[in-house]
Each structure stands twice: as C-alpha cells, then as structure tokens.
Amino acid sequence: MTDYLNQRLDYNNPQFINAFDEMPYWSARFAGLIFEHLTPRPHIRALDIGCGTGCPLFELAQLHGPGCSFTGIDVWDAALARAVTRRAAYGLPHVHLLKADASHMPFPDEHFDLLTSNLGVNNFSDPPAVLRECFRITQPGGRLILTTNIMGHMAEFYGVYRQVLSAFGQPDDLERLAAHEAHRGTRESVTALIEGAGYSVANCIEDRFHYHFLDGSAMLRHWIIRLGFLDGWRAVVDPGRETAIFTHLEAALNTYAQAHGGLTLSVPQLYLEAIRSAP
C-alpha cells in the first residue's frame, strides 16, 4: 500500500506545528554536535538562522545565560508563532524572534559575535548569498557554526531506490536521483562554500548516527521521512508512474530488511566552525 503518498502535510496547520516539536529528535542529533563542540563565551550577541520552533536556539540561549543576547530568524510564520509560545514558557527575555530571509538579513554590518545554523545550508535556496550575508553581519573574530547532513546520507535507501528505478528502465529518473543525492554536498564542498564567503575554517568534525527501522513500510510512513524526505524522493519520478514505482520500492525495502535483520539507514553528519578573521 502507498497510503503515505496521499498524506499531504499542511505546514501552517496548528496541529502540524504542535507535532513538529517532535522534529527535534532528528535535528537534535545535529544540534548535539553544536552543544558538544561550541565553547560558550560571555556577553555575546548571537543569531540562529532558520530557527524554526526553537531548536537549537532556546538551548543555546540557556547554556549562555541572560548576559548574552540571542536572536532567531525564519521565514515560516507558523513556526515562529510556536517559538513565541515556547519562549514565554521558558522565560527567556534575552531571546528575540524575527521573520527574516537569511539572504537579506535586516541587521547592520559586524553585528553578531556568533551565528549558528542547524541543518540550514541544504535548505537555503541560494547558499552563497546567505553565507555572504552571514559574513557581512559577523564581527571580526566572530564565529559561524553550521551543521548539515552530507553525501552518503541514507545510502542504504538510495541503493535500493536506484535498483528499482533501473528495473523500470527510466534513465532520466536515475539522473534526477543522482542530482537529488548530490545536493547535500561533501565535507570539501561545504568547506569551500564557507571559505568562499570569506571565513577561515577553524574546526571541521564528521560523525554519523543510524536510524533502525523494522522495514521499508515502517520507514516510508515515519513522520520525519514524510516531513523532510518523501517529497524529494517523489520528485525523482513522473507522477503517472509514482504509485507503481513506490509500490515496488516499498516491497524491495521490505525484502532488504528481511535479508539484513531490519532496515538501518546511515546518516553522516558534519559540524563546521569558521571564523571571520580580524582585518
């Protein structure tokens, strides 16, 4: 059954926003790299880009304490409204929330000591433009910290998907799948992107974790899969063949899971800390 193909998500529905707070299980795996490797400094002014409903913004603000100022920006109205509610519950007067596009941020030059973006770089429509803006508003000596998932992401899934598309004999689908995988970049390409904006990379750490699913049926119906990945996988194929392909894909994933004692997906992670050098 491909019932998950009919479950469209309404990103502005209040019920969706309430459920979205479950998302941090995924995003917190990456935010955990920030909490582990970032050294807090006193009296800083910080910005979290693409803050969503507040992960990792609120935790970072609490780790630094009220002597620091934190701002979160996003273009998603419903998520910001939820973040306002959470900020009030936490009692964080030193956290500010603002609707803003990261490629045109309403802040003066050299305004922030610390910029963070958790899982943002893959979702920016124009990453170089965003990073140029980041550089502009970072003080000399200030830090930019990014986390992202890189190439090799869920390689086990993509291997099965590639086999299914090959069986259907549609080379255009395979080309689109390859392009979809490649948009995540590598350690080298992300580093080059950051350095191209003018920063000097000071620390670059790779890690990984694993998602363990019973089988493909469980995986394709999982909330995080439907939220963050399914639409991209669907866009690889023509709508007229979508149901047939995903029926075969689900069956192939289930066969893979039976042969391997479950469906384990690898998620490589990248933590990158960069400095805007003093002139």
Least confident of 21-30, 47-56, 120-129: 21-30
Q: Express as a percent the part of the chain with pLDDT over 90.
A: 82
Residue with tokens 């990379």: 201
In this prediction, residues 93-115 reach a mean pLDDT of 97
Closest CA to 209 of 221, 220, 224: 224
In the prediction, which pLDDT does 122 show? 85
- Residue 251 clears pLDDT 60, i.e. is over it: yes
Q: 249 pLDDT exceeds 80? A: yes
Per-residue pLDDT tens digits for 120-135: 998 898 999 999 999 9
Q: Please, what are the domains in the chain?
A: 3-275 (3.40.50.150)
The model's confidence at residue 170, banded by pLDDT at 50, 70 and 90, is: confident
pLDDT over 60 (residue 8):
yes
Q: How far is CA 246 from CA 167, 175, 214, in A?
A: 13, 17, 18
Distance, CA of 63 to CA of 81 (rounded, Å): 23
pLDDT > 60? residue 23: no
Is pLDDT of 14 > 90? no
- Residue 20 has what pLDDT? 63
Residue 106 three-state SS = coil
**What is the structure's pLDDT at 57?**
96
pLDDT higher than threshold 80 for residue 179: yes
Q: Give the pLDDT band of residue 95 (cuts 50, 70, 90).
A: very high
CA–CA separation, 237 and 57 (whole Å): 37
* H-helix segments, the chain: 14-20, 24-37, 57-64, 77-90, 127-137, 155-168, 171-182, 187-196, 216-221, 223-228, 230-234, 239-260
Residue 252 pLDDT > 80: yes
Per-residue confidence band for 17, with pLDDT thresholds at 50, 70 and 90: low
Task: Please choose, from the candidates 168, 152, 150, the residue with its C-alpha nearest in 3D space to the C-alpha of residue 237.
Answer: 168
Tokens of 44: 């800083």
Q: What is the mean pLDDT of residues 89-115?
A: 96
22 pLDDT above the threshold of 60: no
The predicted structure's pLDDT at residue 278: 75
**Does residue 104 carry a pLDDT above 60?**
yes
- Whole-number average pLDDT of the chain: 92
CA 250, CA 256: separation in Å to the nearest integer? 10
Going by pLDDT thresholds of 50, 70 and 90, the confidence category of residue 24 is low
8 vs 159, higher pLDDT: 159
Mean pLDDT for 151-158 is 95
Cα angle, residue 199 at apex, residues 193 and 202 outer, rounded to 5°: 100
Phi, psi of 82 (to 5 degrees): -65, -40
Strand 69-74: give its sheet, edge to edge. Answer: 95-99, 69-74, 45-49, 112-118, 138-149, 263-275, 200-213
What average pLDDT score do residues 228-252 get? 95
Distance CA 243, CA 3 (A): 10
